[in-house]
Structure 1
Amino acid sequence: MAQHWQELIPIDRYLVTSNGLLHEYDRKVLTFLYQPLIGSTCLSLYMTLWAELEENKLWSESSTHHLLMNLLSINLKDIYEARLKLEGIGLLKTYVKSDESGRSFIYELYPPLNPEQFFLDGMLNIYLYRKIGKNHFARLKRFFSIPKKPLEEDYLEVTRAFQDVFASATPGSLQYMQEHAEDLEAESNQEFIGRQDQKPIQIDTNTFDFDLLMAGLNESLVPQKALTKKVKEVISNLSFLYGISPIEMKNFVLGAINESDEIDVEDLRKGARDWYQFENYDQLPSLINKTQPAVHQVQLTEPKTQEEKLIRYYETTPPIVIFKELSGGVEPSAANLKILEEVMIKYKLPPGVVNVLIEVVLRKTDMKFTKGFVESIASHWARLKIKTVKEAMEAARKEERGFQESKKTGKSTKQKPIRTEVLPDWFDDSGKASVKAVTKDQNTELEAKKRAIEEKLKAFRK
């Protein structure tokens, strides 16, 4: 993964544009519905970029990112991380151009979903519900809605249609329009100021194995035509949201088939949600970072030592990638993925800390990822309130030193690792202990050689 200093520097210039007009009502939607999911820094960046657009204009003046750093009073790394979150949640699109004069960006702001779209989204509403709780979620629904007022039965609609009010143009006026057709059309290099409805979050359908899903379904029960584009989009979103595999998804699809051999989208969503809550003690999934949050990253400068490079790697790599690389490229099983998800959600450990935990567990248990051992370490680190990679590595070292000392004194330990001879390189305090061990071995070998030479000299003199 590229670092922020490779993607962005303070002298890079940028322009702000908007995909249509942004309304004052959007501020409330962003503040109450989006801010709990993306954080205050992301909201501040969006609002600042929005403020750079003049009233009723769709383009700002050119500025440098150094100005943006001063306006927000945050560093460039935080701006870059906030930008990525805005892009991921659909509020921003970024374009870049590099030439001899330098690098320039265009930040295109997108309006948020309207309240109805958000609360019926099927993904964002669930993440928000998990984040703020039932009571506050219900309060926000009331805030963004009004009671329906049905028409009284005694009232009769008397609205006139277009043709009842207006007449068609006369031949003379039609000729006038043809003569001035060019004036009536829009300029080729201009566009009208307006706004399009924002599209909801959609996970790429290519990330889900539909061939495997269909292989498990009987064509007579679920025809191929039932998997419409809309159904596939819902299945992809549900798979991402609840971590459902194609094999497991088969049961929900079968349960959502109606009498017309069509898949009822709402039944599909309800079946997946009910299953997830049953499996997770009535809890809903949380929206978590794939990599270490910027606030908990400690390696802010370019790494020089091996340990600094390792810390940076753990801070910028998702746990699933770390797990796969430590396993020799083997994909983690569904059970392994579930354990990882539980650790990040249940114990609220950041991704970077989970990366350290993965290496400790795999190294000390002969590449086994057992739930009991993982949770014993995760719960311990959660009680210690470990949030950074450096803290996790130090905790692992401290625990190993305590185990080795108790082993020498003959005392038992409450948590005895299954395997201790294979440990990560960083366990030995940045290589200090290993250097001492190597030096000691070298000295012993040198003494032995000296003694052998002295014995030969004695024999020669005799």
Structure 2
Amino acid sequence: MFETADPKQKFFVANGIKIYPDSLQILTRLYQPLIGAVGVSLYQTLIYNYNPQMILSDSRGLYFLQEQMDCSLKAIFNSLHKLEAVGLVKTSLIENEVSKIIVFELLKVPTAKEFFATSLLTSLLREKVGQSAFAELSNFFASKAKMHKKMIQTGQDISASFFDVFRLPDAEAITPSAEVQAAAAANQVADVGPAQINEKTNIDWDFMRDRLRAYQISPSEVDHKKAEIISLMQIYGLNEQEFIDEALPTFHGSSELNLREISRVIAENYRSVQKRKEVKQKLAQNRKQPVTVKLSDQHQAILLEAKRKTPAEFLYYLKTRKGGFTTASENRVLNNLVNRGLPVDLINVLAYVCLEYDTVLTASLAEKIANDWLQNNIATPEQALAYVESRSKRPSRPNYTRSHGRRKENATDWSKNQPRVDPNVDLNSLNALFNDLDDQNNSQGK
């Protein structure tokens, strides 16, 4: 892949091609979503810049293309690389003592049939335009192809042959004259082939075939799915052996490569590997941070054991101290923490802290504490224990476990709310009390 910022860089178009209406329709509707409008414009501009009378010494500078297309060199090279990738242009660099010349070789626009037969191009088009537009394009070109030929029942061929109509001397028919042979040679010009995607790779296909044959995968299956294999290897940066190792879990006695399942497995493993790299990188950056808190005697003893034992041994040590036992689910939690890229001694301290909050080691609590530590740049067991001690000295100690506060209704205690009326008062006393109240109200009204 070549690029330059020098507008005086010479370029030369090595061949000419004719672009017909059908080809232009394919270029615009199928290729333009992949290479962009500038890519289509550059392809057509290069076609029009071919001059059969020009030689290499007549090469022009790239500024000539800039003036014709009214765009930057950066945009031209971005589009050129896309044209190279889909196979519409082949670029080479000729160097001599005087100068360097970029040579563009143009290739024909393939037919719609050839385009849709190339799985990489078809998959990329579907990704670019979406499922509904892709289906519409496929139906359009399929219907158009069927319109050019009527499907009729095959009949007997009754066409006249050449020798039924014409007569030549026997010697001329068997061995053409020197003039005829010279004319044939003079008119033998190499055809310009259709575009093919540029699959330049350094993959050792013989190695791939030999290794996969051991798993009952035939060499023809590898050749048939070569484009998809290249795509997966390039996307995830895999070499031949790495691809085979990733694909192994998908082999179930079948002679075919299940590319969909292989892609899923590789994607899952890639995410976990990338996450592990990120965790290890962050831990490496924070390991040198000094510990300013003096650890308690209890934590110093825990630290000593955490550095001596494996995670399984340390968990067993903690559980037996508490009078419990380890479970299979707890061992799975430890295994997941190792796969996340955490160092063994830090995992041990993490298990210790988890068991200070709960009786069993659970994935949710372990991940919650581990995330808290990573966000606070904790990378070593010493830093983790110091962090726990410093947080425990705060007024409100943080609680990693979720507390569910229940609303309490305050019920009325009727034993403390006795009636104020004396239950021993008789009816005559109450009537006298009411009469006194009536007399007071009447006197106030007057």
Task: Give the TM-score normalised by structure 2.
Answer: 0.51
Aligned to 1:192: 189
CA separation in 2, counterparts of 1:37 and 1:126? 11
Q: What is the deviation of 1:253?
A: 6.9
> Aligned pair in 2 of structure 1 residues 181, 207: CA closer, same or farther (>3 Å)?
same
Contact 2:91-2:104 at 8 Å conserved across structures? yes
In structure 2, do the counterparts of structure 1 residues 277 and 125 end up closer, same or farther at CA, with 3 Å as the change threshold? farther
Q: Is it true that 1:66 corresponds to 2:59 in the alignment?
A: no
Q: Which has the larger radius of gyration?
A: 2
1:104 aligns with 2:108: no
- CA displacement 1:223-277 (0-9 Å, x = unmatched): 6xx44783473564353477582124456676653xxxxxxxxx64xx3136547
1:418 to 2:377 alignment: yes
Q: Aligned partner of 1:43: which letter?
A: V
Equivalent position SS for 2:7: coil
Q: Deviations over 1:101-147 (max 9, x none)?
A: 43322111122332112212111111111121111001111222227
Which amino acid letter does the alignment assign opposite residue 91 of structure 2? T
Trace 1:397-416 onto structure 2 (pairs within 5 A). Answer: 416=375
Q: 1:70: Cα distance to partner? A: 2.0
CA distance in 1, matches of 2:272, 2:245: 17
**Do the aligned partners of 2:88 and 2:108 also contact (CA within 8 Å) in 1?**
yes
Question: 2:223 matched to 1:230?
Answer: yes
Question: Corresponding residue for 1:39?
Answer: 36
Q: Deviations along 1:31-90, whole A, 9 cap, x unmatched?
A: 222222222332222222122236x99989632111212222222233223222222221
Q: What secondary structure does 1:38 align onto? A: helix
CA offset digits 1:354-383 (Å, max 9, x no partner) = xxxx9x976534379x9999xxxxxxxxxx
1:172/1:140 CA distance change after superposition, 3 Å:
same
Alignment of 1:28-427 (within 5 A): 28-53=25-50, 62-146=59-143, 148=146, 151-153=151-153, 156-160=155-159, 162=161, 165-166=164-165, 169-171=168-170, 173-174=172-173, 177-181=176-180, 183-187=182-186, 192=189, 194-202=191-199, 204=201, 206-207=202-203, 211=207, 214-215=210-211, 218=214, 221-222=216-217, 226-227=219-220, 230-231=223-224, 233-234=226-227, 236-237=229-230, 239-240=232-233, 243=236, 245-250=243-248, 257=255, 268=257, 271-273=258-260, 276=263, 334-335=270-271, 363-366=281-284, 416-418=375-377
How has the CA–CA distance of structure 1 residues 8 and 43 changed in structure 2, closer, same or farther, with 3 Å as cutoff? same
Over aligned residues, Cα RMSD in angstroms? 4.7
Identity %: 19
Deviation per CA, 1:258-306, whole angstroms, max 9, x where unpaired?
xxxxxxxxx64xx31365479989xxxxxxxxxxxxxxxxxxxxxxxxx
Tell me how many residue pairs correspond in the alignment. 291
| CA distance in 2: counterparts of 1:361 and 1:279, whole angstroms | 20
Distance 2:192 2:80 in 1: 22
Say if 1:150 and 1:211 are closer, same or farther in 2 by CA, change over 3 A. same
The CA distance in 2 between the partners of 1:218 and 1:133, in whole Å, is 39
Contact 1:207/1:236, CA 8 A, preserved across alignment: no
TM-score, normalisation: structure 1: 0.50
Output one character per residue of 1:157-199: Cα deviation in whole Å (capped at 9) or x when no partner. 4442636745563136459942424542333xx7537432333
Cα contact 1:12–1:104 (8 A) shared by 2: yes
Extract unaligned runs of 5+ from structure 1: 258-266, 282-332, 341-357, 374-412, 422-462
Q: Using the alignment, how far apart are the partners of 1:62 and 1:23 within structure 2?
A: 27
Instruction: Give structure 2 stretches of 5+ with no counterpart.
Output: 287-337, 342-371, 381-446
Contact 2:120–2:227 at 8 Å: present in 1 too?
A: no
Aligned CA distance change for structure 1 residues 367 and 20 (closer, same or farther; 3 Å): farther
Would you say the 8 A contact 1:365–1:419 is kept in 2? yes
| Secondary structure at 1:10 match in 2 | coil
Looking at structure 2, the residues matched to 217 and 367 of structure 1 have their Cα atoms a distance apart, in angstroms, of: 45
Instruction: State whether residues 95 and 101 of structure 2, in contact with CA within 8 Å, keep that contact through their aligned partners in structure 1.
Output: yes
